[in-house]
């Protein structure tokens, strides 16, 4: 035990020992005094971290909500796009049908006008042929009467035929003027 006492005695007289003891006491005192300040600083830091975490959670929640809203809007936009394309196709088909019907009606009207013109030309040709045939007939009758030398009757018949022919021409002129 003497050796322990010697070692303990030497320690008590050693500067290093007392510096170490002083340092330990200093640390203990600093810890006791600084414990409150350290705890307060740590508590503030913990509170700041909690606030940041809570803010991050809110931001995450908002981002998730925005993502859901964006997905919903995208679905609506896709549906609206499909509806718009469908309506445009239907409108295009309706417009095509309308244009085809208008073209058909125009063609029918144009054909009717052509047929009416053809009919009018045909009627005019028939009328012209009748006029020419009438003139030829009158001239033939007059020549016949002259050759047969039916002078008394031929003059009166010729005058009647000539008057009829003149009246017919006058009627035709009046008709064309209208």
> CA 16, 21, 26: angle at the middle one, nearest 5?
125
Q: Any idea how long the chain is?
A: 178
pLDDT digits (tens, 9 = 90+) for 117-174: 998 888 888 888 888 887 787 778 777 767 766 555 556 666 676 676 677 667 666 6
pLDDT digits (tens, 9 = 90+) for 98-127: 998 988 888 889 889 999 899 888 888 888
What are the structure tokens assigned to 136, written together? 């030829």
Q: Find tokens 């058909």 and name the residue.
A: 104
Residue-level pLDDT at 82: 93
- Looking at the chain, which runs of residues are DSSP E strands? none
Maximal C-alpha separation, the chain: 200
Give whole-number Cα distances, 25 to 11, 22, 29, 37, 87, in Å: 17, 5, 6, 18, 89
Q: What is the DSSP letter of 1?
A: -
pTM assigned to the model: 0.41
């Amino acid at each position: 035990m003497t050796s322990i006492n010697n070692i303990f005695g030497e320690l008590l007289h050693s500067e290093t020992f007392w510096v170490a003891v002083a340092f330990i006491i200093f640390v203990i005192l600093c810890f006791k005094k600084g414990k409150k300040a350290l705890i307060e600083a740590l508590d503030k830091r913990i509170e700041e971290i909690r606030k940041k975490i809570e803010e991050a959670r809110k931001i995450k929640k908002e981002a998730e909500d925005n993502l859901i809203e964006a997905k919903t809007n995208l679905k609506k936009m896709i549906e609206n796009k499909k509806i718009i394309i469908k309506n445009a196709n239907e409108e295009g088909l309706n417009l095509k049908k309308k244009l085809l019907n208008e073209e058909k009606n125009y063609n029918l009207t144009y054909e009717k006008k052509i047929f009416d013109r053809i009919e009018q030309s045909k009627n005019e040709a028939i009328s012209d042929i009748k006029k020419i045939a009438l003139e030829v007939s009158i001239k033939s009758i007059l020549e016949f009467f002259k050759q047969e030398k039916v002078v008394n009757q031929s003059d009166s018949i010729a005058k009647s035929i000539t008057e009829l022919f003149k009246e017919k021409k006058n009627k035709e002129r009046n008709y064309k003027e209208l």
